[in-house]
Amino acid sequence: MSNDFDREIDRSGTFSTKYDGREVTFGRPDVMPLWVADMDFAAPAAVTEALVARARHPVYGYTQFPDSLYESLILWLKLRHGWQIAREWIVFCPGVVPSLSVFILALSKPGEAVIVQPPVYYPFFSVVKKTGRTLLNNALQQEQGHYSMDFADLARQAAAARMLLFCSPHNPVGRVWSRPELEKLLEIARQHNLVIVSDEIHADLIYPGNKHHILASLADSPEAVITAVAPSKTFNIPGLNLSALIIPDPQHRAAIRHQLEMMHVSAANPFSIVAFEAAYHAGGEWLDALMAYLEASREMVQHYLAEYLPSIRLIPSQGTYLLWLDCRALGMTDDELKYFFIVEAGIGLNAGISYGREGSGFMRMNIGTPRQRIKQALDSIRNALEQRSNKSS
């Protein structure tokens, strides 16, 4: 069954970045990979069935976007998020990260400033720098493990900026932004004519007690925000590379379409299309089961750290399957942290420093894997720390 999340699936030999890329990334091929943001769970059965059915047709030619593809996204956003969008707002793109470059190239000029909010998903930095724009950091504030936006600093930065790349829910710190926070953000953007590009790729992965608000749905005018969404993280199909850009402003939309056409970018892959549509039409029950499983895994990590590894603190995660671990009490430099986790514990995590200097002393752990693997990883970290302690005593 596709919703047996305890089932261990051997992904080695499938050219998986997460598994077959371990030696290049970590210097050894045998680390337990809890890093890159895909999950080790089988996709919903409806997705696999749709792909198999399409594969049975032996011609895989150039493909158009069918009406049903648009309808699947429109219905999902309405039912799951209470957001009614128009079909003409939708522009398809091969992945959210490429779309960030497209937004910057289409809607800003070389040298203009783009704001990011570190510690944040590292491509946010590179897309700004590689497109020749000026990078401005509006660092998140952290107080007793709780992250918040620094609105005073954001207002200062916005006065000199063209665009904000916004991450909601936030990767890697796991914040699901509250409605008052988002309304304050929109107010600042309106005052300074700031274009907000809201990456909401993790919008469906929300833990109980939290509610995700799509930023554009709160705006007085939907034209104030460009939203990027995809079924890739939600249903574990990121390798199929199809995302949706929701662009209410007709001038923004025309500029972005022009940029895509100039680059000859096409997202019309026949397999991506059927998987996208099947996921949004029939993946709801699978997603509900997934979130219950992830919630239990998150709680297990929290209890384990509190009992056995108090020097590693879990930042409370409100969404995503990515946990932000505060390892500063271990007293290691970032290089020492990498060495410890890779060489001594045998665990492949994302180094917090890669998300900006504000991530120094942190590590990111992906819990989108069978729970027994997470327990094994935690035991390995515990044993490695005990061996360190024994050597030093």
pLDDT digits (tens, 9 = 90+) for 5-32: 999 999 999 999 999 999 999 999 999 9
Burial class of residue 193 (count of CB atoms within 10 Å of its CB; 0-12, 13-18, 19+):
exposed
Report residue 392's pLDDT band, with 50, 70 and 90 as the boundaries: confident
> 365 or 95, which is more confident?
365
Report residue 4's pLDDT band, with 50, 70 and 90 as the boundaries: very high
Q: CATH fold of 47-282, please? A: Aspartate Aminotransferase; domain 2 (3.40.640)
Residues counted in the chain = 393
Q: For residue 161, is pLDDT > 50?
A: yes
The tokens for 310 are 């108090």
Q: Could you give the percent of the chain with pLDDT greater than 70?
A: 99
d(CA 304, CA 277): 39
Residues of the chain with CATH 3.90.1150.10: 17-43+284-392
d(CA 376, CA 369): 11
CATH of 17-43+284-392, one of 3.30.70.890, 3.90.1150.10, 3.40.50.300, 3.30.70.1380: 3.90.1150.10
Where would I find the H helices in the chain? 17-20, 22-26, 45-56, 67-81, 96-107, 123-130, 151-158, 179-192, 215-218, 232-235, 250-262, 270-282, 284-308, 334-339, 371-392
> What pLDDT does residue 228 have?
97
> What pLDDT does residue 286 have?
98
Mean pLDDT across the stretch 289-295? 98
> What pLDDT does residue 1 have?
42
Mean pLDDT across the stretch 172-187? 98
Tokens 């005073």 correspond to: 152
Q: For residue 212, is pLDDT > 50?
A: yes
Report residue 393's pLDDT band, with 50, 70 and 90 as the boundaries: low
> What pLDDT does residue 101 have?
94
d(CA 93, CA 109): 21
Mean pLDDT across the stretch 59-76? 96
Q: How many CB atoms lie within 10 A of CB 16?
A: 16
Q: Which residues pair with 147 in a beta bridge?
A: 142
Question: Across the chain, how many H-helices and E-strands are there?
Answer: 15, 15
* Least confident piece of the model among 11-25, 98-112, 142-156, 257-271: 257-271
The CA dihedral of 206, 73, 266, 258, to the nearest 10 degrees, is -100
pLDDT single digits (tens) 222-256: 788 999 999 999 999 999 999 999 999 999 999 99
What is the maximal distance between C-alpha atoms in the chain?
Answer: 68
Nearest of 232, 79, 229, 239 to residue 168 by alpha carbon: 229
Q: Which residues pair with 119 in a beta bridge?
A: none
> What pLDDT does residue 224 have?
83
Q: How far is CA 259 from the centre of its chain?
A: 24
Q: Could you give the percent of the chain with pLDDT greater than 90?
A: 94
Tokens 């995302």 correspond to: 243
The tokens for 289 are 């089961």
Average pLDDT, the chain: 96
pLDDT single digits (tens) 306-363: 999 999 999 999 999 999 999 999 999 999 999 999 999 999 999 999 999 999 999 9
> What pLDDT does residue 267 have?
67
Mean pLDDT across the stretch 266-290? 95
